[in-house]
Chains A and B, each alone.
Chain A
């Protein structure tokens, strides 16, 4: 009777040890799967997918470089665009593209402030999505063109 109990106890311990061992084995296996998936995901995206599908972005706002010389020293200039901007922090964001265009111009022209709501600044950076609309603005005659490196991009002086 005692022997039976002992062997039962041993068997129970052995079963438990085996279960724990299996658990550890599976834990290690799952950990390996998680890490391998992550490494493959990183490698695939950056070393295979991106080179095939993304042009990349070697520069941001390179088109504005010529303007920097012309506005150097001006603490702030106006900003004009055909794309609306999100200017109210309490309102839902609605003009992602316009915000990104402004950010590009501001990144390139820092430390000159692009005052998006200014109506008085004598110098104005015009950055349009549609070049024809910039032509329309110029036809009204309120501005003279100081520089127009691209059809949709110009530095204007208020007349």
Chain B
């Protein structure tokens, strides 16, 4: 059973996604807006009520209080940094205004009936008109509520999704051990590119929040309770409806659930949750130009995949990224150190053995896509790798935080 804190942290992004999904459903499926809201919000409310939560009270000691203090101090610096960056760049980072905020502005300005122009093939393909609409539609809905465009909406959403990602990690890990919750939160708020991505209003942070929500539900659920599985599927579906990369996350989470549970029923429950957002995604993809990466011939992509020069470039860049402290600080070095020296002495959370491999499998798949895509591999690596890692970063911290270490029998028995 999940804690009340985790439930609140999950409900915020879930209802944001449902509000956004309803607006897109009204356009794509020609529904009256009120009916679309009912169709999306009612099942969401039903799922929220059936997701049982309990209060979570664990007394902390003095060391714990120091940790809590460190967490809040780090969170305050992260928030101040993000807000200062937002004031300097209120329209967000380049990708935010070229893709996400452009689409939000377009949907708002075009109004009902004019949405299709936002996906015209006449628009330069770098605006990525095929990207899913969760974030742009949510921002546009914010504009509609305000009655005007405001950079405050996208800025607020960027910070909100960053904050709920942190809240989900803290709340999920606190269910296992109080201090682990704050350690996980501290690790996340002190990750420089995560904070920057939230301040840059990129869709990578909402995607990370949905992936984390799905993983948190899978880790904390009671075996045999179908509701968290449906909710985890819904979160994975929201991830797929946020960015194209989310489709891969959804597929790998579903595969992990199938392998961990060895029951088709679990996979079906997960798929049921993802279904509304997958239906939106399929309807949307059938109406917009195909993704630019899919326009390259398969044989050419295969040749690029096996090109030793590209493979060597990718390997060199990946190793360089780990030790390049300007972007990730020491966090990637710490992750590699964990994988090399500490992982062997620990065990994944019960029933999550395959799920613990999901981030590694996702990174491997992304590296293959980077090799096969038609553009310069060094350029594409530089502009995408941090975001690909950000999608997974809170989930990685969560999965590491739930591992039981051999030296601490008290924790392994706490299960």
Pick the residue among A57, A85, A118 that contacts B124 (CB under 8 A). A85
B192 close to A34 (CB less than 8 A): no
Evaluate contact between B375 and A38: CB separation under 8 angstroms. Answer: no
Contact of B192 among A36, A42, A60, A100 (CB under 8 A): A42
Residues in B neighbouring A51, C-beta threshold 8 A: 84, 88
B81 & A20 in contact (Cβ 8 Å cutoff): no
- A57 touching B123 in the complex, CB below 8 Å, given contacts A42-B77, A106-B102: no
Establish whether residues B329 and A90, one from each chain, have CB atoms under 8 Å apart when the complex forms. Answer: no
Q: Provided the pairs A37-B329, A56-B88 are in contact, do residues A92 and B78 lie with their beta carbons within 8 angstroms? A: no
- CB contacts under 8 Å to A, within B138-163, are none
Is the CB of A35 closer than 8 A to any CB of chain B?
yes
How far apart sit A47 and B183, CA to CA, in the bound complex (Å)?
25
Asked, given contacts A34-B334, A38-B331, A41-B192, whether A99 binds B124 with beta carbons under 8 Å apart, the answer is yes
On whether the beta carbons of B102 and A107 are closer than 8 Å, the reply is: yes
Is the CB–CB distance between A34 and B102 below 8 Å? no
Query: Contact: A91 with B74, CB < 8 Å?
Result: no
Number of interface residues of A (CB under 8 A): 50
CA distance in complex: A110, B84 (Å): 28
| A114 beta carbon closer than 8 Å to chain B | yes
A residues near B49, Cβ cutoff 8 Å: none
Given contacts A42-B195, A43-B80, A99-B124, contact A113 B331 (CB under 8 A): no
Cβ-neighbour of A46 out of B81, B123, B127, B295 (below 8 A)? B81
Which residues does chain A contribute within 8 Å of B101, judged by CB atoms? Answer: 107
| Whole-angstrom CA separation of A89 from B114 in the bound complex | 26
Chain A residues in 8 Å Cβ range of B189: 39
Assess whether B374 is in contact with A39, with CB atoms less than 8 Å apart: no
Residues of A within 8 A of B114 (CB): 111
In chain A, positions 82-101 with a C-beta closer than 8 Å to chain B are: 85-87, 89-93, 99-100
Q: Please measure, in the bound complex, the distance between the C-alpha atom of A54 and the C-alpha atom of B325, giving whole angstroms.
A: 21
Known: A103-B98, A118-B122. A46 touches B199 (CB 8 A): yes
Q: Is the CB of B195 within 8 A of A57?
A: no
CB-based contact A57/B329 at 8 Å: no
Q: Do B376 and A31 have beta carbons less than 8 Å apart? A: no
B binding-site residues for A, Cβ under 8 Å: 70, 73-74, 77-78, 80-82, 84-85, 87-91, 94, 97-98, 101-102, 105-106, 109-110, 114, 117-118, 120, 122-127, 183, 186-187, 189-192, 195-196, 199, 292-293, 295-297, 300, 325, 329-331, 333-334, 337, 374-376, 379, 407
Supply 18 A–B pairs (Cβ within 8 Å), ascending by A. A31-B183, A34-B187, A39-B78, A46-B80, A46-B81, A46-B85, A50-B84, A51-B84, A57-B91, A87-B124, A103-B126, A103-B127, A106-B127, A107-B98, A107-B105, A111-B110, A114-B124, A117-B122
Q: List 4 extra interface pairs beyond A30-B337, A76-B122, CB under 8 A.
A: A34-B190, A42-B77, A56-B88, A111-B118
